[in-house]
Amino acid sequence: MYSSLPAFVLGFHGCDKSVGEKIIAGKETIKHSQNNYDWLGHGAYFWESNPARALEYAKQLKKNPHNKTNVINTPFVIGAIIDLGFCLNLLTNF
């Protein structure tokens, strides 16, 4: 029996192209969001299996930036394979 269910998902993160290229090159890591309005808490946010939605979000941030430190000039999307590990799964009863 597993202590956690094996679960991998594809996640997509919207950001500025310059930031995304640095992350892909291994020169930078994704910065965790620590805003008061982050309704799921502090951390890095990904759209599950939806790169189009991640791009849409990056475009939205370009038009309406939340702050001056994460300005998006060129909307861009990076993908990741995410191991969910010990996550709260509300779809099962075990």
pLDDT in tens, the chain (94 residues): 455 566 788 999 999 999 999 999 999 999 888 888 787 888 899 999 999 999 999 999 999 987 767 789 999 999 999 988 777 667 776 5
User: How high is the pLDDT of residue 53?
Assistant: 97
User: How high is the pLDDT of residue 4?
Assistant: 59
User: How high is the pLDDT of residue 42?
Assistant: 87
Taking the model in full, what pTM does it have? 0.82
User: How high is the pLDDT of residue 94?
Assistant: 59
Q: Where are the alpha helices (DSSP H) in 1-94?
A: 17-24, 51-63
Q: Facing residues of 9 across strands?
A: 82
